[in-house]
Amino acid sequence: MVFQTYAIWPHMTVFDNVAYPLQTRKESKEDITRKVEKTLRFVQLEGFENRPATKLSGGQQQRVALARALIAEPKVILFDEPLSNLDAKLREETRKELRSFLTELKITAVYVTHDRIEALSLSDTIAVMKDGRIAETGTPKKIYFNSDHRFVADFIGRANLIDGKVTALEDSYTIIDSGIGTIACLKNPDTLPGNAVTLCIRPEFIKVMEGDTRDGRNIFRGRVESLIFIGEAYEGEISIADTRLITRIEPTANVKEGDEIALSFDPDHCFVLPK
């Protein structure tokens, strides 16, 4: 198990902390040294073998705990938010390597986290819990793109949730009457005309339109209430009637706060949640 707190032995060096599971198995010194060196390279702690564990930073101590758990190559391992104390860049790098390492060693991992990026990128199956119970399970894509529950859709990522009523069913789409107008969404076989539903539209599937906007589906006009620059994009809050939507806007877009703009929703990435 890898805990959120480090749970490493303060009286031992880094080498002895990591080697302990192999020493209890009475493996040879040569095998222990080789495996410790390999595992410390994986967690980017090579050269720290003789350092007292208490002389490391918090992130380094967490990596020692991770290395100690992995070196034994268990069949099943429980992770309790093991990357929470790492800086953003190292957390991203370790996340990628951890997936590769677990796959290579064929280790089944139960990974507890509140970080949606970790959940989506590391999992084969995600279980989302609410009030101590599992609300929904599914593949990362299923949970993110086509959840069955409003709570799960909102919890697993940024989501625009719009209430409406089903007015018609087409070959591929469900037609919804909402507070911002008529919206065509990916067809949900469990909804019928007259049903009250909630639409889920991820910010990345709402696009700013330029030029002629008279033709097409799911095109709406709104006002830019706020723009926050986050590097690869702007995060914009757009008001349409009495509804505020979050969208991602290209950093090169000629848009500023207060502008009236046209938005389009991709029907294939708008899904229906039953009430």
SS3 assignment for 104-143: HHCCEEEEECCCHHHHHHHCCCEEEEECCEEEEEECHHHH
- Pairing verdict, β 234-240 and 243-249: antiparallel
Q: Is the pLDDT of residue 84 over 90?
A: no
* Fold entry, domain 14-124: Rossmann fold (3.40.50)
CA 44 to chain centre: 24
Section 154-174 average pLDDT: 91
CB 120, CB 126: distance < 8 Å: yes
Top CATH class of 160-275 equals mainly beta
Q: Is the pLDDT of residue 275 over 70?
A: no
67-81, 193-207, 210-224, 238-252: which has the minimum mean pLDDT?
210-224
Tell me the pLDDT of the chain averaged across its residues: 88
d(CA 58, CA 172): 52
Amino acid of residue 243: T
* pLDDT at residue number 146: 85
3-state secondary structure of 102: helix
Q: Rounded to the nearest 10 degrees, what angle do helices 58-71 and 88-105 cross at? A: 0
Domain-wise residue ranges, the chain: 14-124, 160-275
pTM score, whole prediction: 0.76
3-state secondary structure of 78: strand
Cα atoms in the 13 Å half-sphere on the side-chain side of 51: 14
* pLDDT at residue number 236: 93
Q: What is the DSSP letter of 2?
A: B
In percent, the amount of the chain with pLDDT more than 90 equals 46
Q: What is the DSSP letter of 258?
A: T
d(CA 10, CA 20): 13
Section 84-108 average pLDDT: 80
Burial class (CB in 10 A: 0-12, 13-18, 19+), 255: middle
Considering only residues 216 and 257, tell me which one the structure prediction assigns the higher pLDDT: 257
* pLDDT at residue number 190: 82
Q: Cβ neighbours of residue 49 under 8 Å, at least 6 residues apart? A: 13, 14, 15, 36, 37, 40
